[in-house]
Amino acid sequence: MMYSLRVTRLLAGNKRPRWFSSEPQVTSTLTSSQIGLITLNHPPANAMGRVFLQQLKHEMKSMEDARCIILHSALAPKVFSAGADLKERATMTMEEAEAFVVQLRTTMQELSNLPVPVIAAIDGVAVGGGLELALAADLRVVSARSKVGLPETSLAIVPGAGGTQRLPRLIGEGRAKELIWTGRRLSGVEAAEYGLATRLVDNEESSLDTAMQLAEEIAKKGPVAIRASKWAIQEGMKKVSMENALEVERQAYARVLPTNDRLEGLAAFREGRTPNYRGE
């Protein structure tokens, strides 16, 4: 990996919950430029079971100081995530399966609602809940060799972690229906053509390195402005009328107007230097 990561924190707080007694399946670090890196590391397939989900939630919560977050897999370039843990699922009652899927769906929504940009660096297979996790991120960087899809209907279930809603919003209704009804896996190249990924990297590059470059670029911008613009875009997309949407933009602008960072940006421009933003 191109970047040396200074680990400033592995786990928030001293008290380790019971589920941390098992091997860590999801970990996180914060780089010196305040990029939060969440690593999925549950061989062989980053399957999402109860422990995985608890740890993912925990790591997401420990990211409040991050300016941008990257989700990536330690199992790249083979697999990003194969989705729900189908072996664990086979041991669950119908009620347990229902409760778990609710938790999965809620966690993806919590990820989507994080106040800072989240980038999924996909290198390998991202299917089912694995793709749904990436869809809950703001940006997706995908390697050409990746395979992405929602194969749930092949298992006689529907995508249950937001996929039926996020995929059509992203790539359009027709393409989403076709992918969900056929369970077909797209290559990374096709995913970029469909608009599912915002960046495509070739097989010689790592999607993590590209995601890092993107995150470094974002982390240099005014932190209040990045948070306010994410909020404005997400809130505005929910609103029906343009009048309401523009009111959201006004509210976001009102957040950056009184900041020192705004004055710092103007001063740096005047003095021809790089601004030093402090998020205040």
Ligand X SMILES: CC(C)(COP(=O)([O-])OP(=O)([O-])OC[C@H]1O[C@@H](n2cnc3c(N)ncnc32)[C@H](O)[C@@H]1OP(=O)([O-])[O-])[C@@H](O)C(=O)NCCC(=O)NCCSC(=O)C[C@@](C)(O)CC(=O)[O-]
Contacts with ligand X, residue ranges (CB under 6 A): 44-45, 47, 79, 82-87, 101, 104, 125, 127-129, 132, 151-152, 155, 157, 159-161, 163
Is 74 in the active site? no
Q: Which of 76, 124, 132, 163 is catalytic?
A: 132
Q: H helices within 6-135, ranges in order?
A: 50-61, 86-89, 94-112, 129-135
Q: Are β-strands 125-127 and 79-81 bridged in parallel, bridged antiparallel, or unpaired?
A: parallel
In the complex, minimum distance from the CB of residue 76 to ligand X, in angstroms, rounded to a whole number:
13
What's the rounded Cα separation, in Å, for the pair 157 and 188? 25
Classified as helix, coil or strand, 37 is strand
Strand 186-187 to 147-149 pairing: antiparallel
Residue whose CB is less far from ligand X, 36 or 188: 188
Whole-angstrom Cα distance, residue 60 to residue 69?
Answer: 9
Task: Please identify, using beta-carbon distances, which residue of 156 and 242 lies nearer to ligand X.
Answer: 156
Question: Tokens 């970047």 belong to which residue?
Answer: 3
Helix (H/G/I), strand (E/B), else coil: 26: strand
Quote the DSSP letter at residue 48: B
Query: Least distance in Å: CB of 91 to ligand X?
Result: 12
- Cβ 47 to ligand X, closest distance in Å? 4
Q: For the chain, what percentages of helix, strand and coil (3-state, to nearest 5) are there?
A: 45, 15, 40
Residue 138 or 152: which CB sits closer to ligand X? 152
Q: Which is nearer to ligand X, 32 or 154 (CB)?
A: 154
Is 235 catalytic? The answer is: no
Least distance in angstroms from the C-beta of 33 to ligand X: 33
Residue 201: both structure tokens together: 């990297």
Q: Are residues 82 and 127 in contact, defined by beta-carbon separation less than 8 angstroms?
A: yes
Q: Is residue 174 among the annotated active site residues? A: no
Cβ atoms of 45 and 73 closer than 8 Å: no
Catalytic residue among 120, 152, 163, 225: 152
Between the CA of residue 112 and those of 66, 132, 134, 234, what are the distances in Å? 15, 11, 10, 9
Compute the least distance from the CB of residue 83 to ligand X, in Å: 3
Task: For residue 78, give every residue at least 6 positions away whose Cβ sits within 8 Å of its Cβ, in sequence order, or none.
Answer: 124, 125
Shortest Å, Cβ 52 to ligand X: 10
From 47, 84, 161, 197, active-site residue: 84
Cβ distance to ligand X smaller for residue 117 or 128: 128
Smaller CB separation from ligand X, 84 or 142: 84
- Catalytic residue ranges: 84, 129, 132, 152
